[in-house]
């Protein structure tokens, strides 16, 4: 890594770790390896001395050499990237790269506005379709600017990527959790871009646990959403009456996990439940990381795995793991055979299958 | 490659090299570098002693230390992967990876059932469309589980991949050969997954020549299919009357290749022929590897290349190769000019072109 | 790189640097590192001695050892690739690779014809759709022949790639510039193929500046096209009355760039303008490299960057760059606030915003 020898000015960043605009700046700082002092500014009850420093009352802002202030996240990013100190600046400044960065960021701003509008009324079918179209348009635009990808400027991580990734991270989580909307379903190029960015230390190390973003976003979301009130916890969809759901809840209780329960009547599910699970089955577990898990057995397995104690018991003991796995599989065979037999109690094969599966238990 | 020091138990695998469920186990064995004794069990006339060992009368099954039996291909795979011996186990067991593996395998089972049902009546337009939809659904599911791909767990080859690839290999071949159906036409992510897996020695070395799978699959296929009876040989579609088809058959005969001939009247092709060649032209050659070759000249070239003698004659002699290539090209020019002249015998350019192309021969 | 020891024959190539058929041959020469003497043959006023040598009056042709002539670009490529001299020949000659190359090249010829026909009447909506379909078909064909890509023979750069890339380069430029048609909008696999090829020195070093291809193509294009007469220069779409367009023209003049102006009335744009900018806004700048730039500010930034003087003034001076950037951003805020205020002069927030943005200037 080439390092320029110039001394950098003293940099003091007024910031908030949950704010996407601040993360943009942090990514540039990490990419260039700059030395920066940080002052955390709370969103609520912003101190008066800070309001004096920044008349727009926003974070981030940057103080240089204890005197002059630099405002606006994008301008701060550019300023830090232009500093003749630290590691190589981001991306080669060819005119075409500059154009790609400027034009994509400009269009991305409109995309962010479209997402925010959608979030006001996310269970509206028409608005979902119109967001789908916006997502497709933006993904196609990214594709048209790229030649080989995966970044906006192909293989160069640029200011454009640094500026869009913090929004992707937060919106993906909130759209999943609050709106049951998969931001990347129709956006393979944006999905690829985010994945590759998440592998960069500058992005990974400036990203907080997803749950924190969800909690911070909660009060921006309409209070009428099904998940309103879940507060970033696990969410379990299903009917408390169902034995499968009961089994999952028992497993959760044994692992000290308290999922937020959303009652779904499987014979008359609400329209929006199709967004959670197009196949319509319950139970479904949604994790704070935005992973949606279907099928009671898979859910129980997941909860089992996610709980800390798991590792110590069986790991590395192939015999015991096989015994457990075989028992679960055989139970499944028996349950299926029993169900088939109850439907057709006079069919000979059903009887035989039931006997055979019972023997294996 | 890290190697654990633990001694492995004695492992005896009852298996059949054509069975996809057995290949899953073989892939895990190859990945972990385990030492396994094999006993081949024929599908027909399964020996009684084996039926005693495995009451489900299936392969594969695994005997450990000469005593206890491990059943069910997936459970055997897990057992072998959990053994504290050999090379590193497949994939990191994070809860999310576990979920991706379990959920995708579960959905893949339904996909396999859908393919099997389709194969009962593959020339039915409606059923083709409904399989198309199933393929799209499964590919989209894979895409939604992946972040960067190409495997189910992104860059980690896992049990999920080991378990689906044997089915992909066999279904792709049979769907191509018997049903004229391209499994991957609407499934870029599954196509990519298979391609990357085929580059792994564990997959490549446990895969038999495709023709063997086709022959083994033959008696599962409806007897009314056009290709029924081709028995894994080359298939040639066309009219015996056509001079182009005759040229191909002559070339085949000279190379001792006996293609299974399916008569197609090019002016009234059967509806299903659109599945073989959407452009409707004949002849078409289908190879046991599932490659479909169009245009008589390309077919002849292919047969020429595929026959063993080719290499020794001209290879490396650029002059002789050019002479042959130029003659073929010039013949083509002459044929085209002759055809154009016969349509417009009074047009001066046609006459001149005919004379010029004739001179070059 | 393996090198065979055989001496190569004396090779003299009759060629023209703008001709796509000649570039195919040059790519093979560069890939194999052959030693070739070149004689440039002009398209117009082809010398008589050359017409004697090549009765078809075409370039390229190759003379070997001062005597025998080799004709036809594809046959010359094959000849040079078969020569037992220079670096390794392109691609492994398996029968399947041979088939992929032959079949794709054959279909690509039809694609080239389709593009040429389209170029006769490119503003015809129906013809655009039918070219879209042809592009999709060809891209799908490429996808069906590939397993992993990105080349026709997957990871092997072959004669097929060498033969199609020169056409891609020229057609993409002319379709963009003269026809406002993005060749790769519906062709992700061909786009990828071209991008990867452009990274090979053999392709990059045999490619001329795009503007030269555009100028050479000019007289093949219909004289009625909007861009007819632009002669490979920058093209500016917009109304001379618009202050945004005037600002761009001023910037162009200060940088000694003379764009070809196409008058667009933004309230009644011609139908074809939707091909240039689906969002319908003006001004739009089109560069000779086929990049289309929207929004007056982005255009001005681009022109500023592209002009040579830029580098010396501010580069590396983060303070000055921030001052310029902040001024431009603050101007923008002020303009927006002013516009909002003029629409709602009695709303208090508008007044406050106007005052605050004015202060920051």
- What confidence tens digit (pLDDT) does each residue in C228-257 have? 889 899 999 999 888 889 989 998 998 889
* Residue C325, CA atoms < 13 Å, CB-side half-sphere: 20
In a domain, C331, yes or no: yes
Q: Could you say which of B75, B99, B140 has the minimum Cβ distance to residue A322? A: B75
- The pairing of beta strand B11-15 with beta strand A292-294: unpaired
**For residue A2, is pLDDT > 50?**
no
Helix (H, G, I), strand (E, B) or coil at A63: strand
C359 — pLDDT class (breaks 50, 70, 90): confident
Look at residue A25 and tell me whether its pLDDT is greater than 90: yes
- With an 8 Å Cβ cutoff, are C75 and B192 in contact? no
> With bands split at pLDDT 50, 70 and 90, how would you rate the model's confidence at B312?
very low
pLDDT the model gives residue C312: 46
The tokens of B256 are what? 């001792």
Question: Shortest Cα distance from A289 to chain B (angstroms)?
Answer: 10
Answer yes or no: is pLDDT of A308 > 70: no
**CA-to-CA distance for A8 and A5, rounded, in angstroms?**
9
Helix or strand holding residue A350 (H, E): helix A348-360
Q: Output the pLDDT for position A285.
A: 95
How far does the CA of residue B89 sit from the closest CA of chain A (Å)?
Answer: 10
Phi (first) and psi of residue B286, to 5 degrees: -115, 130
Chain A hits for B99, Cβ within 8 Å: 291, 293, 298, 301-302, 305
- The verdict on residue C4 lying in a domain is no
Q: Which residue has the higher pLDDT, A7 or B220?
A: B220
pLDDT at residue number A3:
46
pLDDT score recorded for residue B275: 94
For residues B121 and B211, membership in a common domain is answered with yes
Distances A204 to A88, A197, C6 between C-alpha atoms, Å:
20, 8, 55
pLDDT digits (tens, 9 = 90+) for C205-234: 999 999 999 999 988 899 999 998 898 999
Q: Check CB contact under 8 Å for A75 and C316.
A: no
- CA-based nearest residue in chain C for residue A102: C298
The CATH number linked to A247 is 3.40.30.10
Please give the average per-residue pLDDT across B249-257, as a whole number: 89
In a domain, A6, yes or no: no
> Look-up: residue for tokens 């704010």?
A19
Quote the CA–CA distance of C220 and C218 in Å, as a whole number.
5
| Residue C2 scores a pLDDT above 60 | no
Which residues of chain B have a Cβ shorter than 8 Å from any chain C Cβ?
Answer: 182, 185, 188, 191-192, 195-196, 198-199, 289, 291, 293-295, 297-298, 301-302, 305-306, 316-318, 321-322, 325-326, 329, 356, 359-360
Helix (H) or strand (E) holding A301: helix A296-306
The residue among B78, B95, B155, B189 with the most chain A CBs within 10 A of its CB, best to mutate, is B95
Sequence-ordered list of residues with C-beta below 8 angstroms from that of B326, at least 6 positions apart, any chain: C70, C71, C72, C75
Same domain, B203 and B269: no
A267, A289, A307 — which closes off a domain? A307
Q: Average per-residue pLDDT in chain A?
A: 89
Among A81, A63, A62, A64, which Cα is nearest to A72's? A62
Contact B293 C84 (CB under 8 A): no
| B148 plus B42 within the same structural domain | no
- Residue A146 sits in the same domain as residue A68: no
- Is the Cβ–Cβ distance between B167 and B109 less than 8 Å? no
Tally of domains in chain B: 4
The answer for residues whose C-beta is within 8 angstroms of residue A106's C-beta and 6 or more apart is C295, C298
Average pLDDT value for residue range B244-252: 90
The pLDDT value given to residue C237: 96
Task: Please check whether residue A231 is in contact with residue A215, taking contact to mean a CB–CB distance below 8 angstroms.
Answer: yes
Q: How far is CA A108 from CA A137, A139, A163, A178, A190, in A?
A: 11, 10, 10, 22, 11
pLDDT (0 to 100) of residue C1: 42
pLDDT at A236: 96
Question: Are B241 and B356 within one domain?
Answer: no
**Final residue belonging to a domain, choices C82, C112, C143:** C82
Confidence bin at A185 (pLDDT 50/70/90): very high
Distances (CA, A) of C86 to A41, A222, C8, C71, C231: 66, 70, 8, 21, 40
Which site among C305, C328, C361 would you substitute to test the A interface, given the most A Cβ atoms closer than 10 Å to its Cβ? C305
Average of per-residue pLDDT across C334-341 = 81
Name residue, tokens 């001694």: B7
In a domain, residue B58? The reply is: yes
- Residues of chain C that touch chain B, judged by Cβ-Cβ distance less than 8 Å: 55-56, 70-72, 74-75, 78-80, 82-84, 93-96, 98-99, 102-103, 106, 140, 143-144, 147-148
Which residues of C are less than 8 Å from A143 in CB distance? 188
Task: Mean pLDDT check: name the lowest of B21-25, B103-107, C262-266, C302-306.
Answer: C302-306
Q: Does C302 lie in the same domain as C317?
A: no
Q: Are residues C326 and C246 in the same domain?
A: no
Q: What tens digit of pLDDT does each residue of A196-232 get?
A: 999 999 999 999 999 999 999 988 899 999 998 898 9
My answer on whether C290 and C326 are in the same domain is no
Instruction: Compute chain A's Rg from CA coordinates.
Output: 26
pLDDT tier, C14 (very low <50, low <70, confident <90, very high otherwise): very high
Same domain, C106 and C205: yes
- Provide the residue range defining the domain that includes C274: 235-307
The C-alpha atoms of residue C125 and residue C35 are separated, in whole angstroms, by: 48
Q: Are residues B101 and B214 in the same domain?
A: yes
What are A95-117's pLDDT values in tens digits?
Answer: 889 889 989 999 999 999 999 99
pLDDT single digits (tens) A140-150:
999 999 998 89
Q: For chain B, give the mean pLDDT.
A: 89
* Chain A residues within an 8 Å CB radius of B148: 192, 195-196
Burial of A278 (0-12, 13-18, 19+ CB in 10 A): exposed
Q: Are C144 and B182 an interchain contact pair (Cβ–Cβ within 8 Å)?
A: yes
Strands B235-238 and B260-263: parallel
- Looking at residue C315, its pLDDT comes to 63
C185 burial via Cβ count (<10 Å: 0-12, 13-18, 19+): middle
Give the model's confidence band at B315: pLDDT under 50 very low, under 70 low, under 90 confident, else very high: low
Find, in chain B, the residue whose alpha carbon is nearest to that of A194: B147
Q: Is C4 helix (H, G, I), strand (E, B) or coil?
A: coil
In a domain, C2, yes or no: no
Q: What is the DSSP string of C146-210?
A: -SS-SBTBBTB--HHHHHHHHHHHHHHHHHHHHH---TTTT-HHHHHHHHHHHTSHHHHTTPPPH
Give Dmax (Cα) for chain A: 90
Strand partners of residue A13: A38, A62
Of residues B83, B95, B147, nearest to A318 (C-beta): B83
Note whether B171 and B60 are same-domain residues.
Answer: no
Instruction: Give residues with Cβ within 8 angstroms of A159, minimum separation 6.
Output: A28, A74, A77, A78, A81, A90, A91, A101, A105
Share of chain B above pLDDT 70, in %: 96
The Cα C179–Cα C171 span in angstroms is 10
CATH of the domain at B125: 1.20.1050.10
Cβ distance C96 to B326 less than 8 Å, yes or no, reads no
A144 chain-C contacts, CB cut-off 8 A: 182, 185
**Cβ separation of A95 and C192 shorter than 8 Å?**
no
Q: What is the pLDDT of residue B6?
A: 61
- Facing residue for A99 by CB, picked from C185, C191, C293: C293
Nearest one of B51, B86, B275, B98 to B185, comparing CA atoms: B275
C144 burial type by CB count under 10 A (0-12 exposed, 13-18 middle, 19+ buried): middle
Residue C1 lies in a domain: no
ipTM at complex level: 0.81
Is residue C96 within 8 Å of residue C152, measured between CB atoms?
no
Within chain B, residue ranges assigned H as helices are: 20-32, 48-53, 73-82, 95-118, 125-145, 159-179, 188-198, 201-204, 210-217, 243-254, 273-276, 296-306, 310-314, 318-343, 348-360
In a domain, C230, yes or no: no
Among B71, B99, B138, which would you mutate to test the A interface (most chain A Cβ atoms within 10 Å of its Cβ)?
A: B99
- Residue C225 is assigned to a structural domain of this protein: no
Subunits next to C (3 or more Cβ pairs <8 Å) are: A, B
Min CA distance, B142 vs chain C (Å)? 17
B294–C103 CB contact, under 8 Å: yes
Q: Nearest-CA distance from B105 to chain A in Å?
A: 11
* Strand pairing report for A260-263 and A235-238: parallel
Query: Do the Cβ atoms of C214 and C170 come closer than 8 Å?
Result: no
Question: Which of B162, B195, B220 delimits the end of a domain?
Answer: B220
C102 and C67: one domain?
no
């Amino acid at each position: 890594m080439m390092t320029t020898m110039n001394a950098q000015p003293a940099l003091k960043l007024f910031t908030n770790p949950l704010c996407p605009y601040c993360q943009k700046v942090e990514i540039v700082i990490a990419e260039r390896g700059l030395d920066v002092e940080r002052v955390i500014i709370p969103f609520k009850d912003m101190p008066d001395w800070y309001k004096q420093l920044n008349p727009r009352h926003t974070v981030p802002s940057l103080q240089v050499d204890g005197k002059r202030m630099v405002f606006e996240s994008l301008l701060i990013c550019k300023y830090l990237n232009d500093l003749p100190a630290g590691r190589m600046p981001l991306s080669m400044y060819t005119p075409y790269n500059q154009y790609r960065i400027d034009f994509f960021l400009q269009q991305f701003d409109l995309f962010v506005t479209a997402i925010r509008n959608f979030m006001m009324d996310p269970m509206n079918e028409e608005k979902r379709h119109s967001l789908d179209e916006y997502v497709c348009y933006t993904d196609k635009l990214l594709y048209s600017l790229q030649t080989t990808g995966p970044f906006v400027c192909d293989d160069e991580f640029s200011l454009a990527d640094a500026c869009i990734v913090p929004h992707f991270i937060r919106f993906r989580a909130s759209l999943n959790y609050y709106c049951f909307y998969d931001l990347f379903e129709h956006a393979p190029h944006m999905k690829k871009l985010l994945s590759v960015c998440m592998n960069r230390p500058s992005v990974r190390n400036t990203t907080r646990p997803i749950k924190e973003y969800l909690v911070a976003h909660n009060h921006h979301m309409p209070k009428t959403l099904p998940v309103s009130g879940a507060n970033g916890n696990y969410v379990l969809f299903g009917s408390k009456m169902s034995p499968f759901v009961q089994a999952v809840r028992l497993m959760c209780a044994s692992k000290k996990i308290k999922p937020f329960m959303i009652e779904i009547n499987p014979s008359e599910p609400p329209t929006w439940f199709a967004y959670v699970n197009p196949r319509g089955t319950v139970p479904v577990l949604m994790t704070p990381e935005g992973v949606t898990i279907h099928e009671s057995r898979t859910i129980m397995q997941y909860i089992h795995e996610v709980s800390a104690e798991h590792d110590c018991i069986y790991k590395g003991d192939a015999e015991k793991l096989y015994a457990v796995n075989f028992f679960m599989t055989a139970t499944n065979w028996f349950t299926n055979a029993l169900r088939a037999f109850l439907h057709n109690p006079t069919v000979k094969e059903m009887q035989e299958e039931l006997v055979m599966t019972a023997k294996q238990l």
